Amino acid sequence: MTNSILIAGTHSGVGKTTVSMGIMAALSKRNLKVQPYKVGPDYIDPTHHTAICKKSSRNLDTYMMDEEYIRKSIEYSSNDADISVIEGVMGLYDGVDSTEISSSAHVAKTIGAPVILVVNVHGMSRSVGAILKGYSEYDKDVNVAGVVLNKVGSQRHAQMIKDALPSDIPVVGALPKNQNVSVPSRHLGLHMASEEDHNLDELAEFIEENIDLDSVMSLAREPAKPVTSVGTIENKEPDVTIGVGMDGAFCFYYQDMLDSFRQCGAEIKFFSPVKGELPDVDGIYLGGGYPELYIEDLEKSKTTSGLKNLAADGMPIYGECGGMQYLCSSYEIDDVEYKMADLFPAKTRMTNKLKALGHTKAEADGEFINGTLLGHEFHYSITECSRDAKLEYEMIRGKGIEDGKDGLSEHNSIASYMHAHPATFPVNKFVDMCRKYSRR
């Protein structure tokens, strides 16, 4: 494996995203090949990583993927990189419920990556030592190898803290407050990378001035855990085409999912429902995103009016969260009801409160989804189904659409609030369904 470093925080909002993005930008500016990763099911941060590093960022989540899957994913995706930089999630030890599963610590242990801990030191001095001691000793299998002090008030403030810290954990950086390197956010998190005009030179310069990148590189030289070599993963010669909605409304996709389609023999053709595009394909995948921000364009879109006939003809269509909402009969926002694709007899309504957030587990025994499906859900809407709606998922964990069920099904189409990962999603079955449809 390529040398790795994991950037974790003491808690959410401590500045680990800025530090992670900044280190990626600064190392890239040094003409190093940086392979980025994100712990957890986040879709948004990886878009920023990808824009900075010019290499697709991948998610590492020990709930949705087993440990061997993660190690193999890192091996084949980082083999041409100089260093892998992994952005953590929440606090270092925060996982599913009260477990370590899906935490930054669990990922660090899984791949043997040393951790740089980001601490917001505003209003503290010697107390930072107690925090660092607790984080470094809580789990001896987690290697807290360095610390970045964020939001220091002055050089004197930084020196006071350094003098109080354990001598065996070096301070690799001390960052003053800087509003120019923050990223705007909204109800589902940060803005997507495509929405921001990043000044990467300013971000890289800020990190270069305040973090010892040579020390970061040195810490990253610790060996990662070995894995049975996966060799070169090659895509099959494509014999089927899958359309993937890709625009501001539909933009939440795991790189691993897209890669899995290609490995199963599918060519991916991106298209924009917002612009009314509807390509000549054998199946369609609509991920999550922000359909509510483009609702008027979607209501008028030729894509919207054309999907129902394709589904009735038997074309396989798969939708997740925003994609599922789009495939319902209507979407109500601020008391205005907008007509949607009408594949499923259900109506979605946007709310101003969080309705579901967390990892999910579902069981299904349908022709397409058969077995256990692991994923996550995150939405500010509710979906109400008609009596004749068919729901295929039994939720073991998570809320789903209603009454502990998820997975609206009609013809060869299925859609859910759950975002799935190819570690358990039957990509090969979906591609085979598209293949059968194309040969009818």
Tokens of 178: 């800087």
Tokens of 163: 């003098």
Whether residue 227 has pLDDT greater than 70: no
- Phi and psi at 187, nearest 5°, equal -65, -25
Q: Residue range 174-189: average pLDDT?
A: 66
**How far from the centroid of its chain's Cα atoms is residue 375's Cα?**
11
Return the residue matching tokens 């530090």: 19
Return the residue matching tokens 């109400």: 384
Residue 80: C-alpha distances to residues 35, 47, 97 (Å): 9, 20, 36
Tokens of 303: 């894509």
Bridging pattern class, strands 171-176 and 185-186: unpaired
Return the residue matching tokens 């010019």: 54
Are the C-beta atoms of residues 139 and 249 closer than 8 Å to each other? Answer: no
Distance (Å, rounded) from C-alpha 381 to C-alpha 366? Answer: 26
**How far from the centroid of its chain's Cα atoms is residue 43's Cα?**
3
Q: Which of 152-166, 225-239, 278-292 has the lowest mean pLDDT?
A: 225-239
Are the C-beta atoms of residues 355 and 379 closer than 8 Å to each other? Answer: yes
Distance (Å, rounded) from C-alpha 392 to C-alpha 413? Answer: 11
Q: What is the pLDDT of residue 434?
A: 97
Are the C-beta atoms of residues 369 and 414 closer than 8 Å to each other? Answer: yes
- 415-440 pLDDT per residue, tens: 999 999 999 999 999 999 999 999 77
**How far from the centroid of its chain's Cα atoms is residue 369's Cα?**
22
Distance (Å, rounded) from C-alpha 30 to C-alpha 24? Answer: 10
264, β-bridge pairs: none
Nearest to 175 by CA among 223, 115, 118, 230: 118
Are the C-beta atoms of residues 339 and 305 closer than 8 Å to each other? Answer: no
- 376-405 pLDDT per residue, tens: 999 999 999 999 999 999 999 999 999 999
Residue 231's pLDDT band (boundaries 50, 70, 90)?
very low
Residue 239's pLDDT band (boundaries 50, 70, 90)?
very high
Return the residue matching tokens 């953590």: 88
Distance (Å, rounded) from C-alpha 147 to C-alpha 211? Answer: 10
For residue 398, give the amino acid letter: G
Helix (H) or strand (E) holding 311: helix 302-312
Residue 234's pLDDT band (boundaries 50, 70, 90)?
low
- 50-99 pLDDT per residue, tens: 999 999 999 999 999 999 999 999 988 999 999 999 999 999 999 999 99
Residue 420: C-alpha distances to residues 43, 110, 115, 137 (Å): 12, 21, 28, 35
Q: Residue range 295-320: average pLDDT?
A: 98
Q: Which residues are identified as catalytic?
A: 321
Task: Please state, rounded to an integer, the average pLDDT across all residues of the chain.
Answer: 92
Q: What is the pLDDT of residue 367?
A: 82
Residue 313, C-beta contacts closer than 8 angstroms, at least 6 positions apart: none
Q: 3-state SS string over 261-309?
A: HHHCCEEEEEECCCCCCCCCCCEEEECEECHHHHHHHHHHCHHHHHHHH
